[in-house]
Amino acid sequence: MLYNWKESIDNDELNSVVKALVRGELVVFPTETVYGIGADVFNIEAVKNIYKAKGRPSDNPLIAHVSDVEMLEKCVSKISDVERKLINAFMPGPFTLILEKSEIIPNEVTANLNTVAIRMPSDKIARKIISEFGRPIAAPSANVSGKPSGTRIEDIRNELEDKVFVLIDGGNTDIGLESTVVKVIDGVPRILRPGGITAEDIQKLVGKVSIDNHILNKVSDSEKVESPGMKHKHYAPKTKCVLVDIEDERERVNKINDILNDNICVIGFERHRKEIHTSKFLSMGDSLEDVSKNIFMLLRKADLLRCELIVIEGMSTEGLGLAIMNRLIRTCDYNVISNG
């Protein structure tokens, strides 16, 4: 079933969605980052069905989505001064905070960790659903596990329609990358997964920030992770991908041209369209904001071209670039060409 809420939220359909969540059904809904597939955070069977619908590994924790600070506080056992500053500054918004969980949060949500990931989306549809439901909603990105996240309903409908009660179409998402995930360790915020809230944003607020070593590197199979998107292969189309991560733009373009043949697709910056010698060029725009919004949609579009290889142009890891490169490295399963 599909509900179209691009223009406005239908109250009768909203009531139907809330009743479905009460019954333990799954619902696909938009947020400002990507679409989510959600269920009642306190319904263990419903939470298990999220993992089943996505084919998601059970050691990959979910995020509990809340509508306000009062709901957040019920999910956690304590909040430090630094954590409170982060909540006040970045929630609602594309920001997830790892906090010590309260006893009411099931282990199935947290992959048996004693912490829970909490997010308060700013998207009006997501906030309305959670508020009307009156309970947190556990929701990872709406896609088959390992595939590109969904930033528009057309990209995920075929994957999930027969596994959920309803898909809610709120149009294309604003940011296009999943939320920034942060855990405060010894008073210092550590970014476990970069997103729309950047390291620079956090540093301006509290003075210090650290970047987890795994953001641009692999996590071993034996390691436990506290954030989604850290451990397993993610964001990947069926077609093999390679990331060309060369700092100098001229050298980067030349390397891409060296790789090309007639059956290779390129996802690159618009400014390099005429310089990259292929008819199978997909433009991700020129600004980091453009790339963030477009990249998951383009990966799905590239898959439809049925090429032997997708070559993706890399970029600086400053600002939003860190989040984009974090996703692209995992998209390519660490298949990276660099000048190092």
Whether pLDDT at 183 is above 70: yes
The answer to whether residues 9 and 146 belong to one domain is: yes
Quick one: average pLDDT of 213-232? 69
Asked if residue 311 is part of any domain, the answer here is: yes
Asked if residue 105 is part of any domain, the answer here is: yes
The answer to whether residues 125 and 202 belong to one domain is: yes
Contact at 8 Å (CB) between 28 and 142? yes
The answer to whether residues 47 and 141 belong to one domain is: yes
The answer to whether residues 160 and 257 belong to one domain is: no
To the nearest 10 degrees (0 to 180), the angle between helices 321-331 and 288-304 is: 20
Amino acid at 33: T
Q: Which long-range contacts (CB under 8 A, 24 or more apart) does 82-88 make?
A: 82/184, 82/187, 82/188, 82/189, 82/206, 83/184, 85/205, 85/206, 86/182, 86/184, 86/189, 86/202, 86/205, 86/206
The answer to whether residues 137 and 273 belong to one domain is: no
The predicted pLDDT at position 217 comes to: 82
The predicted pLDDT at position 219 comes to: 72
Distances 49 to 83, 157, 162 between C-alpha atoms, Å: 31, 17, 13
What tens digit of pLDDT does each residue of 80-97 get?
Answer: 999 999 999 999 999 999
Nearest Cα residue to 40 out of 32, 103, 48: 48
What radius of gyration, in Å, describes the C-alpha atoms of the chain? Answer: 20
CATH number at residue 324: 3.40.50.11030
Whether pLDDT at 54 is above 60: yes
CA dihedral 19, 23, 29, 35 (to 10 degrees): 170
Contact at 8 Å (CB) between 236 and 331? yes
The answer to whether residues 173 and 258 belong to one domain is: no
Question: Lowest-pLDDT range, 123-127, 217-221, 226-230?
Answer: 226-230
For 258, other C-beta atoms within 10 Å of its C-beta total 9
What tens digit of pLDDT does each residue of 130-157 get?
Answer: 999 999 999 999 999 888 999 999 999 9
CA dihedral 135, 67, 121, 181 (to 10 degrees): -70
Contact at 8 Å (CB) between 62 and 40? no
Task: Classify residue 223 as exposed, middle or buried by CB count within 10 Å of its CB (0-12, 13-18, 19+).
Answer: exposed
pLDDT class of 222 with cuts at 50, 70, 90: low
Of residues 199 and 217, which shows the higher confidence score? 199
What tens digit of pLDDT does each residue of 93-136 get?
Answer: 999 999 999 999 999 999 999 999 999 999 999 999 999 999 99
The answer to whether residues 309 and 195 belong to one domain is: no
Contact at 8 Å (CB) between 166 and 15? no
The answer to whether residues 114 and 21 belong to one domain is: yes
**pTM of the complete model beyond 0.85:** yes
What tens digit of pLDDT does each residue of 164-174 get?
Answer: 999 999 999 99
The predicted pLDDT at position 225 comes to: 65
The answer to whether residues 24 and 145 belong to one domain is: yes
CATH number at residue 128: 3.90.870.10
Domains in the chain: how many in total? 2
Asked if residue 225 is part of any domain, the answer here is: no
Whether pLDDT at 224 is above 90: no
pLDDT class of 218 with cuts at 50, 70, 90: confident
Asked if residue 279 is part of any domain, the answer here is: yes
Mean pLDDT of the chain: 94
pLDDT class of 223 with cuts at 50, 70, 90: low
What tens digit of pLDDT does each residue of 269-324 get?
Answer: 999 999 999 999 999 999 999 999 999 999 999 999 999 999 999 999 999 999 99
Quick one: average pLDDT of 43-68? 95
pLDDT class of 233 with cuts at 50, 70, 90: low
What tens digit of pLDDT does each residue of 3-52 get?
Answer: 999 999 999 999 999 999 999 999 999 999 999 999 999 999 999 999 99
Whether pLDDT at 226 is above 80: no
pLDDT class of 228 with cuts at 50, 70, 90: low
The predicted pLDDT at position 172 comes to: 96
Question: Lowest-pLDDT range, 6-15, 259-268, 331-340?
Answer: 331-340
Of residues 59 and 49, which shows the higher confidence score? 49
Last residue of a domain, one of 216, 250, 274: 216
With pLDDT > 90 as the criterion, what percentage of the chain qualifies? 90
Asked if residue 227 is part of any domain, the answer here is: no
Asked if residue 222 is part of any domain, the answer here is: no
Quick one: average pLDDT of 198-222? 88
The tokens describing 43, both together, are 């319904």
The Cα diameter of the chain in Å comes to 58
The answer to whether residues 209 and 258 belong to one domain is: no
pLDDT class of 268 with cuts at 50, 70, 90: very high
Domain of 67 in residue numbering reads as 2-216
The answer to whether residues 137 and 277 belong to one domain is: no
Asked if residue 232 is part of any domain, the answer here is: no
The answer to whether residues 204 and 248 belong to one domain is: no
The tokens describing 41, both together, are 């955070």
